[in-house]
Amino acid sequence: MKSKIDEIIEKQNNTDRSDLLDVLQEIQVIEGYLSEEAIIKTSQYFKLASAKIYGIASFYDHFKFVPQGRFHIKVCNGTACHLANTSNLRKEFEKILKIQHGQCTRDGMFSIEYVPCMGACGISSVISINEEYYSSVKPSDVKDMLENLRNTDDRID
Ligand code: FES
Q: Using one digit for the tens of pLDDT, what is the confidence trace for 116-156? A: 999 999 999 999 999 899 999 999 999 999 999 998 866 55
71-156, superfamily in CATH? Glutaredoxin (3.40.30.10)
Q: Using one digit for the tens of pLDDT, what is the confidence trace for 4-62? A: 999 999 888 877 888 899 999 999 988 888 999 999 999 999 999 999 999 999 999 88
Q: Does the Cβ of 135 fall within 6 Å of ligand 1?
A: no
Q: Label residue 111 exposed, middle or buried (CB < 10 Å: 0-12, 13-18, 19+).
A: buried
**pTM of the full structure:** 0.72
Q: Does the Cβ of 38 fall within 6 Å of ligand 1?
A: no
Q: Where are the domains of the chain?
A: 4-59, 71-156
Which ligand 1 atom sits closest to the C-alpha of 86? Answer: 2
Q: Does the Cβ of 115 fall within 6 Å of ligand 1?
A: no
Q: Using one digit for the tens of pLDDT, what is the confidence trace for 90-121? A: 999 999 999 999 889 999 999 999 989 999 99
Q: How far apart are CA 81 and CA 106, in angstroms?
A: 28
